[in-house]
Structure 1
Amino acid sequence: MDDATTEVPDTPPNHLPGDNRLPRIAPLPEDRWDARVRGLLTAAPRDPGGGVPNIFTTLARHPDLYTRFMPFGGQLLRGGLLPGRIRELLILRTAHNTGAAYEWGRHLPLAEAAGVTTADVRRITQGPEAAGWTDLDRHLLRAADQLHRDARISTVTWEALAAHYEEAELIEITMLIGQYHMLAFFLNSTGVQLEPGFDRSGSGKAARADG
């Protein structure tokens, strides 16, 4: 008999935030903020009640990474070339694809403010072939799905997007989707919890697993 140790499988990939064993890494409580962290989080976006979102108080446990991440994320979110509606369609589809309940819930209000409709949100969960999309919307969502599945945009989809966007915008599309994949890896793995009052329904695997 082989006495080699059998590796015990880790938590199933769709067992995401909401599990009572999570978060794996808790947000850094304010009474443990040193001067550097306090300076970083003082400048962080805040919720209406004045609290710092859990994503920032968790990431602040790695202040060197935090200081480098924030300008890049801020550029894509607030200073990018893509219109807000397009940006949020891509982010929400990526959140759905990765089952990232935190990412989904935090971006629903941003998407609504950018012109994403309730019907759009419903179609995002159904995918690019759902009825009601424009041709351009369909190509954008296909790009998000292809990058998620294949780590590249297909030639057909790329050529369709290139008919609408300049080179810099095409670069931004790939980087935006990649950025929110990276965030989903961080959020799902560390178990960052969605703050009360945000809607997690529609976030793919996370909503089904933890519902």
Structure 2
Amino acid sequence: MTARLPEASGEGPTGDLLRARRGGTLTVLDRLLLHSPPVAEGWNALLGALRGGSTLPADLRELVVLRVAVLTGAEFEWTAHEPIGRRAGLTDRHLRRLRAAEPTADPAAEPADGPVWTPAQAAVLAFTDASARAVDVPDAVFAAVREHLDDRQVVELTVLVGGYCMVSRFLVAMRVPPSDGEVAG
């Protein structure tokens, strides 16, 4: 499967901005975005801030990204972020549960080796599911996140969910196939 649009060349100042954030290379996603330099520049600034300027712990950030990938069917995003999630401390057990319909359901049924999620991870996953699925986050879910995150982190979490929903929707609509090692966002 190939993407629905051809890749743009990547030449010019906007391509240089994207390459700088990516460590010198462009992804298929970048080359598609470069068909609209203003959109590519805005995307680059937002996703750069979410990935490099956030105070959210890496495990929470990658839980959000991977869960959004599952909820939206964005296999490119999953493939790109699974190794990052592993580096952030996510295990095979975490990754299996992220792919479940309800990854935090029935905590009483946890195996003898303990719960899969820390309380903060469970709260962030519940928030992610609520925000990505229904947009409105119930008060109880919001309150649970507030027990673990400060004001800045709540803003970063909320924008992270929305931002990666945007990434996923672009990837899926453009039918960008999974790759080996390219990072979405």
TM-score range, shorter chain: 0.7 to 0.9
Residue identity over aligned pairs, in percent, reads 27
Q: Compute the displacement of 1:33 (Å).
A: 4.3
- Contact 1:53–1:195 (CA under 8 A) maintained in structure 2: no
Match of 1:128 in 2: 104
Q: Compute the displacement of 1:193 (Å).
A: 2.2
Q: Compute the displacement of 1:95 (Å).
A: 0.6
Distance 1:26 1:44, change over 3 A: farther
Distance 1:147 1:33, change over 3 A: closer
Q: Compute the displacement of 1:197 (Å).
A: 6.3
In the TM superposition, 1:23-34 aligns within 5 A as: 23-28=3-8, 32-34=9-11
TM-score (norm 1): 0.74
Instruction: Summarize deviations over 1:36-85 as a string: whole Å, max 9, x none.
Output: 45534542515xxx752211111111111111211210111111010001
Q: Give the counterpart letter for 2:55 in structure 1.
A: L
Instruction: Summarize deviations over 1:119-168 as a string: whole Å, max 9, x none.
Output: 11111112122632223222211111111221021111111111121111
Matched, 1:186 2:170: yes
How far apart are the structure 1 equivalents of 2:60 and 2:92?
Answer: 15
- Contact 1:85–1:111 (CA under 8 A) maintained in structure 2: yes
- Contact 1:25–1:191 (CA under 8 A) maintained in structure 2: no
Match of 2:92 in 1: 118
- Contact 1:54–1:194 (CA under 8 A) maintained in structure 2: no
Which of the residues 16, 32, 35 maps onto 1:39?
16
- Contact 2:3–2:175 (CA under 8 A) maintained in structure 1: yes
* Unmatched 5+ stretches in structure 1: 1-19, 199-211
- Let me know the Cα RMSD of the aligned residues: 2.0
The structure with the larger Rg is 1
How far apart are the structure 2 equivalents of 1:90 and 1:138?
Answer: 11
Which of the residues 133, 147, 163 maps onto 2:131?
147
How far apart are the structure 2 equivalents of 1:96 and 1:110?
Answer: 16
Q: Compute the displacement of 1:34 (Å).
A: 4.1
Q: Give the counterpart letter for 1:138 in structure 2.
A: A
How far apart are the structure 2 equivalents of 1:59 and 1:67?
Answer: 9
Three-state SS of the structure 2 residue aligned to 1:43 is helix
Distance 1:115 1:33, change over 3 A: closer
How far apart are the structure 2 equivalents of 1:196 and 1:86?
Answer: 23
The total of aligned residue pairs comes to 172
How far apart are the structure 1 equivalents of 2:6 and 2:163?
Answer: 22
Q: Give the counterpart letter for 2:51 in structure 1.
A: L
* Unmatched 5+ stretches in structure 2: 111-115
Match of 1:95 in 2: 69
